[in-house]
Structure 1
Amino acid sequence: MMPLPAGRVTLADRRTRRSWSVDVDAFQLAAVPVTQASYADVLGSRPSAAVGDRLPVESVSWFDAVRYCNARSAAEGLRPAYAVDGEQVSWDRSADGYRLPTEAEWEYACRAGTTGPRYGPLDEIAWYRGNSGERIHEVGRRRPNDWGLHDMLGNVWDWCWDVYDAEVYGTYRVLRGGGWFDEQWSCRASVRRRSHPTFQVDDVGFRVARNAGVSLPG
């Protein structure tokens, strides 16, 4: 988990041509996406299409990501961030357990103080269709951004906490970052994608966040 400072980020949506600024509190974010080994240790299953302990877990829904966060929190003696009642999920923002980043936190972390579409040359920082060989790759093999975060772009899309646009898409949740099968235009800090929280596919995974000011396990 990498500690990130407080700051501000401006998000934009190409579909609606809208932009908005968000103040981001200090928080912690995992340096890499959740791996298949970690997912199996916590939930006892390996749902991914590809196989490898250091590969990002994929073919996981938003609900799967929420379950992982709560189970890992409980296993480490932390207070779970989410209360789950069927398909209704509420977030206890005071909890010290693991959670999904908000969309604003994700983009703020991805940019790491940069203002361009990417935090470095795409072939150095991301696995995408142009260099992936049309397959997923182990986490942490591309150059990180200035805050020590790997694979923020490419390899697998990351689920975020936020609902995309409730009035138009209902319960669809936000996905960020682009994946190993995407063209370069999808692997930009500002690109927003959405899908139903039950959606599972082989280029969608997630990484975990925690509130600032909470101790790290061990």
Structure 2
Amino acid sequence: MTDLIALPPGRVTLSDRRSQRVWTVDLQPYLLARAPVTQREYAEVTGERPSAAAGENRPVESVSWWDAVRFCNARSEQDDLEPTYRLAGDTIEWNPAAAGYRLPTEAEWEYACRAGTSGPRYGPLDEIAWYRANAGEHLHDVAGKQPNAWGLHDMLGNVWDWCWDLYDPEVYGTYRSLRGGGWFDEHWSCRASVRRRSHPSLTLDDVGFRLARTITGW
């Protein structure tokens, strides 16, 4: 099942191209999955295979933000961990004290993607990512490209990752943030700082997710 990597504390500066907003976030240590959730992992927990492009070791895609959140809770229960999310209809609360699986925040995602680098990417794009120029217009197995310095694969390319955060609630309401670029994106979308948004109930064939966990008692 999921291989989680412990990431060190640190600080990351995020930006939004549309609004020209820049903000800095301090982060405590946390755990992040080495690669996106695969179709095999998703089926083992949920019994479902929603992906448009089948492949046991390919990232699960065609899953909504709500699907990802429910998977986090189901996987937590399977591993005897306290679920992170409390769900009641269309409302959700995040229990920060819970040790269960969850989605990374945008700040956690970008910090992890950069892995101590400051440029747009953590390596030459063809070596680290599946994107429009080299993917052959299809999804690929996870961890097929070089990882970043912290051992994380597919932070750029293959599938976009759902993040916990609302994208811009004043303008886009409940839309949630996506990060990383996907197999059909041009090179300019596969950068550490690029933000994308989607409605939490929408499913897309280039959107998946990876797991995070809080290190409790810090």
Q: Counterpart of 1:148 in 2: which secondary structure?
A: coil
Specify which of 181, 184, 188 is matched with residue 184 of structure 2. Answer: 181
* Residue matched to 1:92: 95
Q: Counterpart of 1:53 in 2: which secondary structure?
A: coil
Q: Do the aligned residues in 1 keep the contact of 2:128 with 2:146 (CA within 8 Å)?
A: yes
Query: How do 1:139-150 residues align onto structure 2 when only pairs under 5 Å count?
Result: 139-150=142-153
Identical positions, percent: 68
* Residue matched to 1:83: 86
Give the CA deviation at 1:20. Answer: 0.7
Query: How do 1:45-194 residues align onto structure 2 when only pairs under 5 Å count?
Result: 45-194=48-197
Give the CA deviation at 1:206. Answer: 0.1
CA distance in 2, matches of 1:53, 1:102: 27
TM-score normalised by L of structure 1: 0.97
Specify which of 38, 44, 47 is matched with residue 44 of structure 1. Answer: 47
CA distance in 2, matches of 1:212, 1:7: 14
CA distance in 2, matches of 1:2, 1:117: 22
* Residue matched to 1:208: 211
Counterpart residue type for residue 102 of structure 1: T
Counterpart residue type for residue 89 of structure 1: I
Give structure 1 regions of 4+ aligned residues with deviation exceeding 3 angstroms: none
Counterpart residue type for residue 130 of structure 1: A
* Residue matched to 1:31: 34
Q: Encode CA deviations 1:82-139: one digit per residue, 9 max, x unaligned.
A: 0011111110011010000000000000000000000000000000000000000000
Give the CA deviation at 1:213. Answer: 4.9
Residue ranges of structure 1 left out of the alignment (5+ in a row): none
CA distance in 1, matches of 2:216, 2:83: 16
CA distance in 1, matches of 2:149, 2:160: 20
How many residues align structurally?
Answer: 214
CA distance in 2, matches of 1:105, 1:24: 7
Output the aligned Cα RMSD. Answer: 0.7
Q: Encode CA deviations 1:137-194: one digit per residue, 9 max, x unaligned.
A: 0000000000000000000000000001111000000000000000000000000000
Q: Counterpart of 2:77 in 1: which secondary structure?
A: helix
Residue ranges of structure 2 left out of the alignment (5+ in a row): none
